[in-house]
Amino acid sequence: MTRPRLVGLSANVQRPSKTRTLVDAVLREACNQAAFDGRIFDFVDAGPGLGGAWTRDQLPLPARRVLEAIEEADGLVVGSPVYKGAYTGLFKHLFDLVDPGALAGKPVAIVATGGGARHALVVEHAFRPLFGFFGALQIPTAVYASDADFSAGALTEAGVRARAAEAGGQLAALLAHRAAATAGPVALAAAE
Ligand SMILES: Cc1cc2nc3c(=O)[nH]c(=O)nc-3n(C[C@H](O)[C@H](O)[C@H](O)COP(=O)(O)O)c2cc1C
């Protein structure tokens, strides 16, 4: 049986990245709890051609690979730095190219980072409507971290680390539940 595919997508355009670190923390926590096939991509992987593509057909290969990984995933951890009070324009641009039905019912964990705490509710006010559009199964705990929560590139603030662990746990539980539900009828049919 193939493992459920868990994909992390971080909208950072440079490395090292606080957003990528936070996405990775949630992804690792989920993968520690069950046997998932975890992979992480960021916009450095997608390359600068992502921004110049107006349609899926115009995507260069590196960006197309990221788009397809998102669409084919069984669950997602999505994250963006806050730019001007919201997720970045490039983050929205990528999801504008995602097939509208591709994320329906799929577990999604949401994270964001910003310079300070002022825009902490961006995860609730900006991200949730977008993933509501897709009909994704958003986990209850969204995670926001600001510059002060990191030290030498590592996520160090105990409260944020705890929320990241909580989000990873919720994501793992939902993903495992969905995988079992999908396998159930197949197993029953095979037994008949
Ligand atoms: C163009 C731009 C706009 C930004 N706007 C905000 C903002 O509105 N609120 C905020 O808290 N931080 C803002 N920041 C700071 C970034 O969100 C913050 O440094 C983030 O953690 C960077 O993530 P990264 O390390 O993954 O690139 C902005 C940064 C840039 C470059």
pLDDT in tens, the chain (192 residues): 789 999 999 999 999 999 999 999 999 999 999 999 999 999 999 999 999 999 999 999 999 999 999 999 999 999 999 999 999 999 999 999 999 999 999 999 999 999 999 999 999 999 999 999 999 999 999 999 999 999 999 999 999 999 999 999 999 999 999 988 888 665 445 444
Alpha-carbon dihedral sign for residues 9, 95, 128, 5: negative
Residue with tokens 């969905």, as numbered in its chain: 178
Question: CA–CA separation, 182 vs 166, rounded Å?
Answer: 24
Domain count, the chain: 1
Cα dist from 14 to 42, 46, 60, 97, whole Å: 9, 12, 19, 22
CATH label of the domain that carries residue 167: 3.40.50.360
Q: Is 122 in the pocket of ligand 1 (CB under 6 A)?
A: no
Q: Is 81 in the pocket of ligand 1 (CB under 6 A)?
A: yes
Q: What pairing do the DSSP bridges indicate for beta strands 137-138 and 75-81?
A: unpaired
Residue nearest to atom 16 of ligand 1 (CA): 114
Classify 187 as helix, strand or coil.
helix
Strand partners, 187: none
The answer to whether the predicted template modeling score (pTM) of the entire model surpasses 0.85 is: yes
> What separation in Å is there between the alpha carbon of 81 and the centre of ligand 1?
5
Question: CA–CA separation, 166 vs 38, rounded Å?
Answer: 17
Q: Is 116 in the pocket of ligand 1 (CB under 6 A)?
A: yes
> What separation in Å is there between the alpha carbon of 69 and the centre of ligand 1?
26
Q: Could you identify the atom of ligand 1 that is nearest to the CA of residue 117?
A: 11
Residue 107, phi then psi, degrees to nearest 5: -65, 130
Burial of residue 11, with CB atoms counted within 10 A of its CB: 0-12 exposed, 13-18 middle, 19 or more buried: buried
User: Is 42 within 8 Å of 36 (Cβ atoms)?
Assistant: no
Residue 71, phi then psi, degrees to nearest 5: -70, -30
Domain range enclosing 24: 5-191
Question: In this structure, what token pair is assigned to residue 146?
Answer: 């600001």
